[in-house]
Amino acid sequence: MLLRCPALLTAVGAVALVGGLDGMEEYFPVLAADRGVPAVAVPSTVLGVMLTGAAGAALGGRLARPGGRTLAALLAAAGLSLLGAGVAPAVVGLIALAVGYGTYLAVLVAAEAELQRRITGPYRATVTSVAGAGIELSSLLVFAARAGGGGTSVALLVLAVVPVVAAGLRRRG
């Protein structure tokens, strides 16, 4: 099924890459500590980021069939916000982190919904499973980026996924 439908295959690839970026949340406590948040306040700080992410995910569910360009622009904004999180002063950097993560989750939810819209026939579970395996594999890119260059590298990885989202999730007929 996937090999006979290039548009679906590119959507699966885009969703796999976008979904894999969620591995970035593993490093939020480290980033908070690096930004000078006292250890006792790190959980509360990360909770704030996660709640902003939940709000972004809820908003992503309300996007009415966004095209690839819209999702790519939102993902680029998220990547730039995450870049700012690494260089801005502590409080501003943590706000940038929260905004970037919330924007990213809006893109993730909208991208996954678009993939589901594109699946026809009796293959929904198989295609969704392939996308899920791709998400798990692509999350390794986040861990490698973080290990190799820290938060800046992860933000650059988010920006590198932007063209894939634009191409893989562009609106089809």
Kindly tell me the sign of the dihedral angle through the C-alpha atoms of 158, 148, 81, 27: positive
Q: Which residues contact 129 (CB under 8 A, 6 or more apart)?
A: none
Structural domains in the chain (count) = 1
Look at residue 104 in the predicted model and tell me its pLDDT: 98
User: Given this model, what pLDDT does residue 67 score?
Assistant: 85
- Per-residue pLDDT reduced to its tens digit, 76-85: 999 999 999 9
Q: Residue 20 pLDDT > 70, yes or no?
A: yes
* Domain containing residue 143: CATH number: 1.20.1250.20
Does 94 map to a domain? yes
Distance CA 155, CA 86 (A): 9
Arithmetic mean of pLDDT over the chain: 92
pLDDT value of residue 145: 96
The one-character DSSP state at 21 is G
Give yes or no for residue 173 having a pLDDT over 60: no
Please give the pLDDT value at position 2.
Answer: 58
The answer to whether residue 173 is domain-embedded is no
**Which whole-number Å values give the CA distances from 39 to 42, 43, 89, in the listed order?**
5, 8, 18
Q: Is residue 32 part of a domain?
A: yes
What is the average per-residue pLDDT within 6-26?
94
- Residue 21, both tokens: 């970026």
Q: Cα 103 to the chain's mean position, in Å?
A: 8
Domain enclosing residue 65, as ranges: 6-168
Q: Is 1 a domain residue?
A: no
Across residues 114-143, what is the average pLDDT? Answer: 93
pTM of structure: 0.93
Residue 172: pLDDT over 80:
no
CB atoms within 10 A of CB 136: 12
Distance CA(96)–CA(158), nearest Å, equals 15
For the segment 21-78, what is each residue's pLDDT rounded down to a tens digit? 999 999 999 999 988 999 999 999 999 999 999 999 999 988 877 888 999 999 999 9
Reported as a pLDDT band with limits 50, 70 and 90, residue 89 is: confident
> What's the CA gap between 152 and 122, in Å, rounded?
42
